[in-house]
Structure 1
């Protein structure tokens, strides 16, 4: 079986297994482990905040040193899909369709096929995470608990998110805010309830000011990224309350993405102060710091030389924000984010296959040492 066929087969098998972040990913982990005979396997099991069983995989073959390939097993929800999200349909143009095809089960398949086909004398590590789309808990657990990853003494990590095989040297990280206003539920006509939205609205007005400042004030811009302004995206939830009921709980969730050149401390302080003024509860969840390597870093230079593409930065985030504690990270994978997180997610099988020899070249060169 050719690398193209093996990658296509494994990618399709992974897509057919529903592993939205709200579900257990154990079936995907077991399917991947079956593809790695001869590798030392470390299973890192945990239970997420909702009581769902999850598993990360670390696989290693060979001695210490060299590079790792990393990808995640979970997907976003199937919002908006009208076709079967788990069909793994391949159209006449050789494009693979399905939830997770480009973000990032196709890339995980390419990583596994690349690692499995390497010469046995080349050290290789696979860091396969879960919950990347939500909390990045899987990546943190690998950093904190993996003996195999620590003993591998990695010189670098290739995070195989879709970049069009452009070596990405840096991206934004995020802080998640959850603001909760409380009211008293009652029939709205009686005048005895208290609508939680009235407490939330002043807070939202201040959040709009922060959003506009981040977007419009050059002092908050980072010219090394496109767009230059930080993301400050808000979702509002009344948890299904009917229009004739005073809202008992109103929740606003904000994702603040910032690059390494931006100090997030004033934003954190401003959000907290606004919550205090409005009398609402605020929870902050912060992932690792934004990863960013200089353009002349040896790992970036290696990736640029091997791919033939200039390095770049991207506005989204990956597990590199956590994994960079283990080793320097470059984000480099086939496909693009153009259809990721949409009901039309897809990736060309030829692009997945193109990544396999590139990953092998990087792993082989990386094993010789980074200058």
Structure 2
């Protein structure tokens, strides 16, 4: 028999909230639940670069500042098949896009708060576009009046962690380097091949990878793996073999970590591109590090009976560092984004119980 939490998750899966689309319908659905539970609501709309309307929902209950916030995102990665919008229940698992990341954990957190009789000030921050750059969270931090007014003391990002608390995650440095040449028939020797111009940069990046993987000052042993995963992808835009490439691009990424020389890495790569006369753009999504010895982390460790750890992936929790975030949710990252994405119903229900227990006692 399906309970209210399962029914909510099934409804959420049926709503297509892939990042490229508007998330208006799922935000309207969640707004109804929270409004009926007497939460004060704030809706923040913005237009994404493709001209699509996106919505962030901030909901608060309680008259005093502080308390706890749940950090959730409403979007999902693209569908593997259209059937992922038709949730199924098999062998005690709910299947569908977003079941694990993160519609299941989000539903558990919302119902835990709605059902709670605690006087703890409680806030929900439900964002757009986490899967494609965390723009929704950034917009909330800059523009939310409720967030500024109530300023939650602690927060939980409801990503799937198998209900093990996480105090730190890696960030992401993204760098794009472009070489420009002149297209011509290769037999004429009149062209300028952009691939030759960018080749020294590619070699330099390969030497950096060797350095970063052997020099511990660029690593952080609190993470698995402790290295920054320097990676690159190259393209000359499918230039034909008998044409000198007019443009060549190298996209470089690395997983930034606290105390692992992030600024030095950006400077090394930028300086190399500038020396070679290449065009460069970059963006850094910050890592997250919440003191694993603070009272809230210890409180959640006691409730979950799990020691707090770290994860190598990125979440939008880093935008909420002022609210001392940790990451905690039912489900496994191993199921997230997969063709057969699912969440185990027993773990979903346990997530609800743990969230409710966390809310129960003021911190």
**Same fold, judged at TM 0.5 (above):** yes
Corresponding position of 2:14: 16
- Superposed CA offset, 1:20-41 (max 9, x none): 2222222222222122222211
Structure 2 residue runs without a partner (length 5+): none
Corresponding position of 1:223: 221
Match of 1:307 among 282, 304, 309: 304
- Superposed CA offset, 1:226-267 (max 9, x none): 111112232334445555554443332222212212121211
**SS of structure 2 residue aligned to 1:268:** helix
Corresponding position of 1:127: 125
Corresponding position of 2:73: 72
Distance 1:66 1:274, change over 3 A: same
- Superposed CA offset, 1:105-132 (max 9, x none): 2222222222222227442110111222
Separation in 2 of the partners of 1:86 and 1:130? Answer: 20
Separation in 2 of the partners of 1:345 and 1:240? Answer: 34
CA contact (8 A) 1:62 1:120 kept: no
CA contact (8 A) 1:180 1:281 kept: yes
Distance 1:11 1:205, change over 3 A: farther
Corresponding position of 1:361: 357
Corresponding position of 1:350: 346
Q: CA deviation at 1:359?
A: 0.8
Corresponding position of 2:313: 316
Distance 1:192 1:52, change over 3 A: farther
CA contact (8 A) 1:17 1:86 kept: no
TM-score by length of 1: 0.89
Q: CA deviation at 1:343?
A: 2.7
Aligned residues: 360
CA RMSD of aligned residues (A): 2.2
Decide which moves more: 97-106 or 331-340.
Answer: 97-106
Distance 1:207 1:77, change over 3 A: farther
Separation in 2 of the partners of 1:331 and 1:254? Answer: 27
**SS of structure 1 residue aligned to 2:255:** strand
Separation in 1 of the partners of 2:95 and 2:239? Answer: 36
| Structure (1/2) with the larger helix percentage | 2
Distance 1:244 1:131, change over 3 A: farther
Separation in 1 of the partners of 2:216 and 2:284? Answer: 24
Distance 1:337 1:66, change over 3 A: same
Separation in 2 of the partners of 1:243 and 1:97? Answer: 46
- Superposed CA offset, 1:261-298 (max 9, x none): 2121211111112211332211111223x222233201
Corresponding position of 1:95: 93
**SS of structure 2 residue aligned to 1:34:** helix
What does residue range 85-234 of structure 1 map to in structure 2 within 5 Å?
Answer: 86-119=84-117, 121-186=119-184, 191-234=189-232
Distance 1:319 1:55, change over 3 A: same
Corresponding position of 1:298: 295
Distance 1:85 1:273, change over 3 A: farther
Q: CA deviation at 1:188?
A: 5.3
- Superposed CA offset, 1:87-115 (max 9, x none): 34324212222332222122222222222
Distance 1:12 1:249, change over 3 A: farther
Q: CA deviation at 1:303?
A: 0.7
What does residue range 42-61 of structure 1 map to in structure 2 within 5 Å?
Answer: 42-61=42-61
Distance 1:179 1:99, change over 3 A: farther
Q: CA deviation at 1:312?
A: 0.8
Distance 1:312 1:120, change over 3 A: closer
Corresponding position of 1:263: 261
Structure 1 residue runs without a partner (length 5+): none
Distance 1:211 1:343, change over 3 A: farther
TM-score by length of 2: 0.91
